[in-house]
Structure 1
Amino acid sequence: MASPFQKYYALRVKNVFNNLYEVELTASSTALHDMRIELKKFKTILHFLKTVYPRHRIKKAAKLVASVFDEAGVLRETQLLQQWLQQHKMNELETMLGLQGSLLYSQHIFLQHIPKHKQALQKVIDICGPLVEETNALLPEQYMQKLKIEIQEQLKKNLTIEEWHDFRKKIKRWMNAIRWVAIEGDDFEEAHFPYFNNLQEAIGNWHDLIIIQDYFVALQAQKSIDKQLQQQLSAAQLTLLSGLQYREKQVKHLLQMPVQPAQLK
């Protein structure tokens, strides 16, 4: 009989190919986002397997997943920037940056590479499948417990802003790992852990704005930038700064909330 971890892995394999197929059909931002979420869950599995098996047995699979994830990330970040500009009605800046053309080009490249991505993911399955099958059923639970303890210890400290993003990754790994050890089936809802779900979402929203800020800073550093674009970017930076300050307050508020041990199952 398959263990919860093996069932979780099988579902990830099914979903990641279904999501990739949906991206191929629709090229929608939602489908792309869903695919990246599945790849993040796959990365959690790889992170766990690295704690069990020699790294050289996992290295190629991790590199292949990262290559698909990173290429999808380029497209996702362009979509993120466009959505932010449209949300704040900065149509002129969006046009000046040529975002629609950049987005169409990135979509075209990603869609062209889908056959390559399918082959890469099949190689990942060929590597990981046998390892998942031979993994002792107790080890996934030990991994989850280790993450739980690390999260508890970090919550006792005053996390710096520089640590937020990595801390979010750890929370996501822990929430993923719970599904493969503590829950019968695959329908566990993150709403059972509202505090941690809210915290990781708040950090994610903050980090999205950091990505946009980094893009603006890099663009403004270019010597060839014209005066009109510079003015538009400066105005956008002010709006962005206000949003960043708001998101930072949200994260800090959540980090300062007392967390009961019972919330970490």
Structure 2
Amino acid sequence: MKKKDEKSHFNDQWEQMLIHFKNFIRTGDQEQLHLFRVQVKKLRAMLELFDVTSTKKQLSKDFKPVRKIFKHCGEIRSAYVNMKLWAQYHFTDEEFLMGQLYEIEKGTNSVKELKNKYLKTIKAAHNDIADDLKHIGNKDIVAFYKNKLDIIADLLSKLQFGNDLHDARKQIKVLVYNRKIARSALEYSKIDISDEYLDKLQGLIGDWHDNILAMQLFSAPELNHKPIITKIKRQDTRFKRTITALAHDFEKKAIVTEKQKV
């Protein structure tokens, strides 16, 4: 991808993030909040790649103020996810539901009150980052992807269902989110990465992680709902079995072909 195309792609992704944030402030819509947070993750992944050619400073550091907004909004998202779990598992504790609704309303109002400050923060972060974006050469992109694939393969080779697996998913998503920028460089280097495989693996790990969060929620002393916990444990066993099979021989499955450059 040419430098002007890289910068245009970055600006487009930033604009999408801003649109979703403004929509959430205006409507309080949870889907807009979710899409804002997804865009933050995409931009963070992109800046990790851009940092490869950054000589003065790490651009990802200039993104930290936006990530603080992301974390603030995460409190609202967590309460909403808890409410969805309440419905999914047919939990009948109305007090629990009202508590989550209260947290959503309180958090949303808090973000709205900080609207002007947060919009200024987002604008300032963009100004700090955009002028320092450097072109990423094919060799740098290929080296970045190979390094990430090695890290993921190492994390999955000694598969443990804990933080390492969650970290492996984060690394996979960095590759997934940078597809557009990296595509031509990978094709030029005759590296064919299976998008379908990476999507399926990271999706399953995400489902497993959500299931763990559900178990933690319903295992809390104030809830401790044993029938739900039993159901979640059965799901956990199924997730582990499927992920173990899918993660086996990660590199062979992730890289469809890697031919010598002619």
Is the structural similarity TM-score above 0.5?
yes
Aligned CA distance change for structure 1 residues 44 and 59 (closer, same or farther; 3 Å): closer
CA distance in 2, matches of 1:55, 1:235: 56
**Displacement of 1:129:** 0.4
**Displacement of 1:26:** 2.4
Q: Which structure 1 residue ranges, 5 or more long, are not aligned?
A: 185-191
Q: How does 1:64-75 map to 2 (within 5 A)?
A: 64-75=65-76
Match of 1:249 in 2: 241
CA distance in 1, matches of 2:97, 2:34: 26
CA distance in 2, matches of 1:60, 1:255: 32
When normalised by structure 1's length, the TM-score is 0.79
> What does the per-residue CA deviation read over 1:183-240, in whole Å, with 9 as the maximum and x for residues that have no partner?
59xxxxxxx61111011111111112223333445x42xxxx5xxx55xx34443333
Aligned CA distance change for structure 1 residues 264 and 112 (closer, same or farther; 3 Å): farther
Higher alpha-carbon deviation: 62-71 or 86-95: 86-95
CA distance in 2, matches of 1:125, 1:96: 38
Aligned CA distance change for structure 1 residues 90 and 264 (closer, same or farther; 3 Å): farther
CA distance in 1, matches of 2:55, 2:210: 34
CA distance in 1, matches of 2:170, 2:52: 16
Letter in 1 for 2:229: Q
Q: How does 1:22-171 map to 2 (within 5 A)?
A: 22-53=23-54, 57-58=58-59, 60-92=61-93, 95=96, 98-132=99-133, 134-138=134-138, 139-155=140-156, 157-162=157-162, 163-171=164-172
CA distance in 1, matches of 2:94, 2:256: 45
**Is the CA contact 1:43–1:62 (under 8 Å) kept in the aligned structure 2?**
yes
Aligned CA distance change for structure 1 residues 234 and 241 (closer, same or farther; 3 Å): same
CA distance in 2, matches of 1:110, 1:240: 33
Q: How does 1:220-235 map to 2 (within 5 A)?
A: 220=221, 225=222, 229-230=223-224, 233-235=225-227
**Displacement of 1:141:** 4.6
Match of 2:189 in 1: none
**Is the CA contact 1:15–1:38 (under 8 Å) kept in the aligned structure 2?**
yes
**Displacement of 1:19:** 0.9
Q: How does 1:171-182 map to 2 (within 5 A)?
A: 171-182=172-183
Aligned CA distance change for structure 1 residues 25 and 96 (closer, same or farther; 3 Å): closer
CA distance in 2, matches of 1:194, 1:32: 27
Match of 1:187 in 2: none
**Is the CA contact 1:82–1:94 (under 8 Å) kept in the aligned structure 2?**
no
Letter in 1 for 2:68: S
**Displacement of 1:25:** 2.5
**Displacement of 1:124:** 1.3
**Is the CA contact 2:45–2:177 (under 8 Å) kept in the aligned structure 1?**
yes
Aligned CA distance change for structure 1 residues 42 and 205 (closer, same or farther; 3 Å): same
Tell me the secondary structure at the aligned position of residue 131 of structure 1: coil
Aligned CA distance change for structure 1 residues 100 and 235 (closer, same or farther; 3 Å): farther
- Aligned residue pairs total 247
Higher alpha-carbon deviation: 66-75 or 85-94: 85-94
Match of 2:231 in 1: 239
**Is the CA contact 1:65–1:124 (under 8 Å) kept in the aligned structure 2?**
yes
**Is the CA contact 1:33–1:76 (under 8 Å) kept in the aligned structure 2?**
yes
**Displacement of 1:96:** 6.4
Higher alpha-carbon deviation: 146-155 or 192-201: 146-155
Match of 2:201 in 1: 199
Aligned CA distance change for structure 1 residues 6 and 251 (closer, same or farther; 3 Å): same
Q: Percent identity?
A: 15
When normalised by structure 2's length, the TM-score is 0.80
Letter in 2 for 1:199: L
The answer as to 2:250 corresponding to 1:263 is no
Letter in 2 for 1:159: L
Higher RCO, Cα 8 Å, sep 6+:
1
Q: Which structure 2 residue ranges, 5 or more long, are not aligned?
A: 186-193
> What does the per-residue CA deviation read over 1:23-70, in whole Å, with 9 as the maximum and x for residues that have no partner?
122222211111111000111123234444368554652321220111
